[in-house]
Amino acid sequence: MGIELDFIFHPKSVAVVGASTSPNQGNDFFRFLMNQPFKGSLYPVNPRAEEIEGHTSYGSVEEIPGPVDYVISAIPANGALKLVDQCARKGVKVIHFYTARMRETGLEEGMKLEAEVLRRARLAGIRLIGPNCMGMYYPREGLTFKPGFPSEAGKLAVISQSGGNTAQIVNLAAARGVRFSKVISYGNATDLSECDYLEYLAEDPETELIAAYIEGVTDGRRFLDVLRDVSVRKPVVILKGGRTKAGSKAVASHTASLAGSQEIWEAVCRQSGATLASGMVELIDLIVAFYFLRPAFGFQVGLGGGGGGMSVQSADACEEAGLTVTPLPEDLREELRAHDPVYWSWIGNPVDVSILGAGSFTNRYIMQLMSDHQAFDLLICTLDEHFNLNRPEDVPRTKQTMESFVSIGRHSPKPLAIVMGTDLPGTDWKHRALSDMRDQCVGAGLPVFPTINRAAWAIRLFVEHHIRRTEINMLPS
Amino acid sequence: MGIELDFIFHPKSVAVVGASTSPNQGNDFFRFLMNQPFKGSLYPVNPRAEEIEGHTSYGSVEEIPGPVDYVISAIPANGALKLVDQCARKGVKVIHFYTARMRETGLEEGMKLEAEVLRRARLAGIRLIGPNCMGMYYPREGLTFKPGFPSEAGKLAVISQSGGNTAQIVNLAAARGVRFSKVISYGNATDLSECDYLEYLAEDPETELIAAYIEGVTDGRRFLDVLRDVSVRKPVVILKGGRTKAGSKAVASHTASLAGSQEIWEAVCRQSGATLASGMVELIDLIVAFYFLRPAFGFQVGLGGGGGGMSVQSADACEEAGLTVTPLPEDLREELRAHDPVYWSWIGNPVDVSILGAGSFTNRYIMQLMSDHQAFDLLICTLDEHFNLNRPEDVPRTKQTMESFVSIGRHSPKPLAIVMGTDLPGTDWKHRALSDMRDQCVGAGLPVFPTINRAAWAIRLFVEHHIRRTEINMLPS
């Protein structure tokens, strides 16, 4: 498939069938698009309305004067076949069926309907997104299905069988500074499947990283082949829905997918070189790691920025995640001794900043030494707001600390991640200060994690990916 | 020990030795206390200052005109012995040594000093908190060591070997609605140890729940006995610092504690009936679960409030955490059928709210049926802001959803937890709306978790505690 799918992302005209004058999803689809910088023509279709949101409403797709490339269907399932026929006559190229209650009902009627929709679409050369999905968010073209998604584009592509989970991925990753190339919520995947999208995204020059929420695949053999091919070219991070018995049951009634066990998915990812997330939070953390970090090929981590208790937490979290908290090597210790012959012996990895006051060391100085030393593969700096941010007057000094992390991270050839708690409601000044600081880190291209544990787990998988990728590249081809 | 330790929490007068005119920790201790509703006398001691923050400064503890019960020492270690002697002559009852660089240095000099401080204090009948710690936060008496801690009191006691981690526990738990009886950062524990504090808190009528951050214990035998006794009376949740090799190393230079392996601590907690957290975030979640939830004695969970993808996530997360997502029982399904003979078969557990629009069901109605049905031991309701909160106009309807959860939770005899993402920076209106809603839930006495995964893990351990406790109570005594 690959690049030939490109046309679905570049419609010159979009019609929303089932756009409504009252607030419902059909109205939402139309209104959200209306407020986007989409340059093509946009038509509402609703035989019972004269105009919708100030636009002339048409009785059917066929009544629209100009050509229509892309149709969003927000009508009930019983109108789906008629719509496909109308679209066929109109020369529509893609139908996105938000329309649901087909195969996922588990009822014969719904399964037959979905099969017939597919049959007629194939006959007419129409490609289908869905049914039972939210469709496309493609900021470069001004296509979206939710308000509040970033208007700037980025390098992450997302494919997801769930519309709600797609919104979760976009919102949570966007809040961490990630931006998107192409995002597709694809539901039941009756025509275009995860394999088609993955093949396309592998070749898409706008996409450098792919995240997927998958509930099930229809062709396991093809999926493994495609995933293997794609993963060699771009990192793929996957969240599998339906890992448990109850989850599989929910999947069946959600997208009618056959879930497959977690063990099978672990094997598939191991063989293909994709990275499997254990939950939504972990998926977002992996996205952040892959989006922002420079590649790393070893697990030796230098840690700094916390007080005594935080240093213990950091050391435990990193080692439990599979990173190695390397003791300071002898030659680095000699440099410390030369710098301050009295207090040098207090310094270790992690750097406990609560004891730095007495000597002439700064956290920045020590982290810089670790950044320059070959014993360390990567750095994690903690900005502990419980330690540093007690009152509004502390903000400038804390910002200085953060800026020293940013400065090291910008100039170091090694990956550097920042840990900064943001999940702290209550105090407005603190929330604002932390938000500002996080924005500054993200603006400098550094990943920010809310806890050291989450940073450590994501980074461990990130490093594993790069090691595995190197091994694969060294195999005879 | 037990209740006889009560005097350390009720000083009639406090002196801060090493209070300074310039901003440092000594100045902080004094200033923070000054701004508290502490009713006793408060004295700064600094021979090089005339007055500090508007208070007359004294040359030594002995020069203070009235009696002094409680001394906070913020002077360097080389003044510690002299201070103990002065306090002995003055009749001081408790010294909190913020002063550090004793045993935790690993140097003979530091170890000898700490031992001598203890020897002289014991001779004089003075009790020691620390050294190398932040001391006490006791809101009922207006004692604190950090600004921003809640001024209202509550039922959670915290003991912690790390000052930074104490602040983290207080800030993070406070942001989730938890309030505190007594909080003690106790550092090297050279005199009063975790055992003494635990024995006291077991009898303390102000404390109903105990959280502990422990890096190591000096007397393993006594600790196991004490923990067993305390856990029978009040739930104890523990975070162990130094679970790994690198963590143990950090512990040694932090509080000079012998860390002990994670396996030993798991065995100790299993035998004693305490609950062990796997990290700081998990400790806070356990605190929230124990603080707010009604007891539960089974793992059957009813889930609702999310869309299709969120339902899959919830089912997977709960089963992976060890809860059971029970299918709707036959008689409950009959009730659904009677209520709506067309759409009843769409409803399952989890309740997928994205399909409720078509029928006459509400999430509230179904969750209420689960609350009333004996097949369910507990309920978890998700408020999915990615699904519900797209624009400011959505806030009132989302609040209604939240209020329906609160209403069920208030009246149900079963524990009910709410999942509501708060770790979503960026949009101010959304952050504010979610903060308001979380406050409303917490105000109604319901626990709020940021993700279903975190809720599920904490609740599983919470239920296990109650089952185990029932078993212990049934043993012949």
Strands A378-383 and A416-420: parallel
CB contact under 8 Å between A309 and B390, yes or no, is no
Q: In what order do the strands lie in the sheet with B94-97?
A: B41-45, B13-17, B70-73, B94-97, B127-129
For residue A382, the tally of other CB atoms under 10 A from its CB is 31
Give pLDDT, residue B386. 80
> CA-nearest residue of chain A to B438?
A425
Q: How far is Cα B447 from Cα B404, in angstroms, rounded to an integer? A: 15
CB contact under 8 Å between B423 and A423, yes or no, is yes
Cβ-based burial of B51 (10 A; exposed 0-12, middle 13-18, buried ≥19): exposed
The pLDDT tens digits of the residues spanning A67-104 come to 999 999 999 999 999 999 999 999 999 999 999 999 99
Q: Where in chain A is the domain with CATH 3.40.50.720?
A: 2-129
Give pLDDT, residue A342. 85
CB contact under 8 Å between B162 and A241, yes or no, is no
Q: How far is Cα A104 from Cα A130, in angstroms, rounded to an integer? A: 11
Helices (H), A127-206: 163-175, 194-203
CB contact under 8 Å between B387 and A167, yes or no, is yes
Q: What interface predicted TM-score (ipTM) does this complex get?
A: 0.94
List, in sequence order, every residue forming a beta bridge with B324; answer none if it has no partner: B300
- Are B380 and B342 in contact, with CB atoms under 8 Å apart? no
CB pairs under 8 A between A and B: 227
Cβ-based burial of A23 (10 A; exposed 0-12, middle 13-18, buried ≥19): exposed
Give pLDDT, residue A254. 86
Residue with tokens 């979503």: B424
CB contact under 8 Å between A426 and B175, yes or no, is yes
> Strands, E, within A10-88: which ranges?
13-17, 41-45, 51-52, 55-56, 70-73
**Which chain B residues have a beta carbon less than 8 Å from that of A440?**
none
CB contact under 8 Å between B308 and A163, yes or no, is yes
- CA distances B234 to B2, B182, B265, B466, Å, are 14, 15, 19, 11
Q: What is the pLDDT along chain B (477 residues), one digit of tens a residue?
A: 566 899 999 999 999 999 988 888 899 999 999 999 999 999 999 999 999 999 999 999 999 999 999 999 999 999 999 999 999 999 999 999 999 999 998 899 999 999 999 999 999 999 999 999 999 999 999 999 998 899 999 999 999 999 999 999 999 999 899 999 999 999 999 999 999 999 999 999 999 999 999 999 989 999 999 999 999 999 999 999 999 999 998 988 888 877 677 888 999 999 899 999 999 999 999 999 999 999 999 999 999 988 999 999 999 999 999 999 999 999 999 999 999 998 888 899 999 988 787 778 888 999 999 999 999 999 999 998 887 788 888 899 999 999 999 999 999 999 999 999 865 555 678 888 888 899 999 999 999 999 999 999 999 999 999 999 888 777 665
How is domain B135-292 classified at the CATH fold level?
Rossmann fold (3.40.50)
- CA distances A44 to A49, A68, A73, A129, Å, are 9, 12, 11, 19
The partner residue sitting opposite A390, judged by closest CB among B147, B317, B354, is B147
Nearest Cα to Cα of residue A189 among A266, A268, A96 = A96
CB contact under 8 Å between A425 and B422, yes or no, is yes
Q: How far is Cα A239 from Cα A166, in angstroms, rounded to an integer? A: 11
Q: Is the model's pTM score more than 0.90?
A: yes
DSSP for A230-256 reads: HHHHS-EEEEES--SHHHHHHHHHHH-
Q: How far is B206 from chain A (nearest CA, A)?
A: 25
- Are B371 and B408 in contact, with CB atoms under 8 Å apart? yes
For residue A397, the tally of other CB atoms under 10 A from its CB is 11
Interface probe, candidates B34, B169, B300, B312, chain A, greatest A C-beta count within 10 A: B312
> CA-nearest residue of chain A to B278?
A317
Pick the CATH number of B2-129 from 3.30.450.20, 1.10.10.10, 3.40.50.720, 3.40.50.1370: 3.40.50.720
The pLDDT tens digits of the residues spanning A187-224 come to 999 999 999 999 999 999 999 999 999 999 989 999 99
Contacts for B298 with CB less than 8 Å, ≥ 6 apart: B377, B378, B463, B467
CB contact under 8 Å between B310 and A168, yes or no, is yes
Kindly state the helix (H) or strand (E) to which residue B288 belongs, with its residue range. Answer: helix B280-292
List, in sequence order, every residue forming a beta bridge with A325; answer none if it has no partner: A301
Q: Where in chain B is the domain with CATH 3.40.50.261?
A: 135-292, 300-473
> CA-nearest residue of chain A to B454?
A281
CB contact under 8 Å between B280 and A253, yes or no, is no
CB contact under 8 Å between A313 and B438, yes or no, is no
**Which chain B residues have a beta carbon less than 8 Å from that of A450?**
423
Nearest Cα to Cα of residue B188 among B163, B223, B211 = B163
Q: How far is Cα B290 from Cα B150, in angstroms, rounded to an integer? A: 19
The per-type count for chain B, helices as H runs and strands as E runs, is: 16, 19
- Are B46 and B19 in contact, with CB atoms under 8 Å apart? yes
Q: Which residues of chain A have pLDDT under 70?
A: 1-3, 259, 422-427, 475-477
Interface probe, candidates A75, A312, A313, chain B, greatest B C-beta count within 10 A: A312
> CA-nearest residue of chain B to A321?
B244
Report residue B101: phi and psi, to 5°.
Answer: 60, 45
- CA distances B76 to A209, B19, B84, B101, B110, Å, are 53, 12, 13, 8, 12
**Which chain B residues have a beta carbon less than 8 Å from that of A356?**
none
CB contact under 8 Å between A171 and B386, yes or no, is yes
Q: Does domain B300-473 have CATH number 3.40.50.620?
A: no
Q: How far is Cα B264 from Cα B248, in angstroms, rounded to an integer? A: 14
CB contact under 8 Å between B246 and A325, yes or no, is yes
Cβ-based burial of B104 (10 A; exposed 0-12, middle 13-18, buried ≥19): buried
> CA-nearest residue of chain A to B426?
A175
The partner residue sitting opposite B424, judged by closest CB among A175, A242, A310, is A175
The partner residue sitting opposite A312, judged by closest CB among B146, B251, B320, is B251
Q: How far is A171 from chain B (nearest CA, A)?
A: 7
Report residue A396: phi and psi, to 5°.
Answer: -60, -45
> CA-nearest residue of chain B to A346?
B105
Q: How far is Cα B11 from Cα B70, in angstroms, rounded to an integer? A: 6
CB contact under 8 Å between B391 and A147, yes or no, is yes
**A351 φ/ψ sector (left φ>0, alpha ψ -120 to 50, else beta):** beta
